[in-house]
Every structure is written in structure tokens, then in C-alpha cells.
């Protein structure tokens, strides 16, 4: 499969996601924001896009606008087509952040639709409707901006919204705790990158066992 300028396989995607999942799980240092939701039928998609576009232009972020408005007769359906609605923007040092929806009104992204969408079957991959933001390279200030933007949009435009902020800033809005979390994560990430480079995975070793072994070395200061 091709996505943009890259050639990548679903096997590679699954392996990368699994590696990151186990790293976050066992290190307890994840800073990923995971979210999902549905657009409110009574709200205006065009208005949401306009507001997000203004913010992106204010911060000089690249953005892409997709189809608007929705086809009302398709909202709330279980099925969906191959169209994407909404806006996607890209702050520095972060992969594109999706505020996009499928024709049924559920949050998704162009990437998710391409790799996990099966509109012509009854099968449904949960990954289709699960979105991630990984702001750890962009810094804690960007994390704060993203969280408050999602809080504002979710109240005004979404009928359903679920979020897991691994830093817990969404729940606490404690900036000092968030800053410390980023500092600790930076130290651990540097050690993990060194470990990945110098201590490769063993034959027949599971990804989970590999991450546990690396973190054990880190915790014992062997890296």
C-alpha cells in the first residue's frame, strides 16, 4: 500500500503500533493522546472547519480541508463510504492531527480509512475509529494547546467524545506536573533509543518481552 510519499505495509504498521503500545504500557511514561467521537448532527461542520482553520493559520500550521458539509441521510448509519469530511492540521514535530469524520459522522482519518476501512463488508476494524496524537517531540506547551482545543471542540461540535490522555493533563490541567512528565519522558526515550540500537530483539523473543528486557536494563542503569 502507498500513503503519501511512503510505501508501507499493514504488517509494518501493526508491528510499530505494538512496539509503541508495549513501551507505553511497561514504561508508564506514555504521552500519547487517544481519542474518538461522533459529530453532533445539530452542529455545523463548516463552522468547525472555519474555527480550526483560523487557529492553524494563527500558529502557521499546515492544514488540509476535506469534504463539507455532510450528507444528512448518511449521518448516524453503521455503514460509510470512501469520503472524508473535516479538517486535518500538522503542528511542528507532530504527525497530522485529524478532526475528520466518515460519512456516518464518526471520527476517523484519511490514514485510518485507507488502512483499516472496509466499507464494502460487514467487518469493522476498531482501529478505524481510534485516533492518536503523539506530541512528545513537540513539547508540553503544544500538548496544552491540543488538549484545550479538543476540550473546546468536543463541547461545541461533538455528540460523543472519548479521550485518554496518558499524561493526565486532560483531567488535572496541572502544567507543572505535565512539564515534569515531559522531562522524565525525554530522559527515558533517549535511553530507550540507545537500547533499541545496541540491544536488538532476540530470535523468538516477543515484542512485549523485548520491551520489558530493555526497560529492566534501563531501570538497573545498564544503559
Does residue 2 belong to any structural domain of this protein?
no
Omega before 69 within 30 of 0, i.e. cis: yes
The residue written with cell numbers 504500557 in the block is 25
Q: Among 33, 7, 65, which Cα is nearest to 149's?
A: 33
pLDDT computed for residue 122 by the predictor: 62
* pTM for this predicted structure: 0.74
Question: Are 108 and 183 part of one and the same domain?
Answer: no
Indicate the number of domains in the chain. 2
106-148 pLDDT per residue, tens: 999 999 998 888 766 666 788 899 999 999 889 999 999 999 9
Residues 201 and 127 in one domain: no
- Residues 114 and 76 reside in one and the same domain: yes
Burial 102-118 (b: 16+ CB within 10 A, else e): bbbbbbbbbbbbebbbe
pLDDT digits (tens, 9 = 90+) for 76-104: 787 788 899 999 999 999 999 999 999 89
Residue 192 domain boundaries: 9-31+175-223
Residue 25: is its pLDDT beyond 60?
A: no
Q: How many angstroms separate the CA atoms of 113 and 117, rounded? A: 4
Residues 6+ apart with CB under 8 A from 127: 112, 115, 116
Amino acid at each position: 500500500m502507498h500513503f503519501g510519499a511512503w510505501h508501507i505495509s499493514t504488517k509494518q504498521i501493526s508491528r510499530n503500533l505494538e512496539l509503541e503500545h508495549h513501551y507505553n504500557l511497561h514504561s508508564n511514561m506514555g504521552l500519547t493522546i487517544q481519542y474518538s467521537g461522533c459529530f453532533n448532527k445539530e452542529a455545523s461542520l463548516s463552522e468547525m472547519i472555519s474555527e480550526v482553520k483560523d487557529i492553524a493559520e494563527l500558529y502557521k500550521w499546515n492544514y488540509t480541508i476535506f469534504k463539507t458539509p455532510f450528507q444528512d441521510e448518511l449521518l448516524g448509519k453503521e455503514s460509510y463510504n470512501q469520503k472524508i469530511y473535516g479538517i486535518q492540521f500538522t503542528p511542528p514535530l507532530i504527525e497530522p492531527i485529524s478532526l475528520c469524520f466518515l460519512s456516518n459522522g464518526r471520527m476517523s482519518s484519511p490514514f485510518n480509512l485507507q488502512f483499516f476501512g472496509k466499507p464494502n463488508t460487514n467487518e469493522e476494524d476498531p482501529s478505524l475509529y481510534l485516533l492518536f496524537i503523539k506530541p512528545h517531540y513537540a513539547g508540553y506547551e503544544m500538548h496544552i494547546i491540543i488538549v484545550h482545543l479538543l476540550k473546546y471542540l468536543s463541547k461545541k461540535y461533538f455528540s460523543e467524545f472519548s479521550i485518554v490522555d496518558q499524561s493526565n493533563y486532560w483531567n488535572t490541567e496541572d502544567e507543572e506536573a505535565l512539564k515534569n512528565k515531559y522531562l522524565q519522558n525525554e530522559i527515558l526515550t533517549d535511553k530507550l533509543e540507545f537500547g533499541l540500537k545496541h540491544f536488538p530483539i532476540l530470535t523468538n523473543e516477543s515484542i512485549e518481552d523485548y520491551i520489558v528486557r530493555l526497560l529492566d536494563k534501563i531501570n538497573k542503569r545498564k544503559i
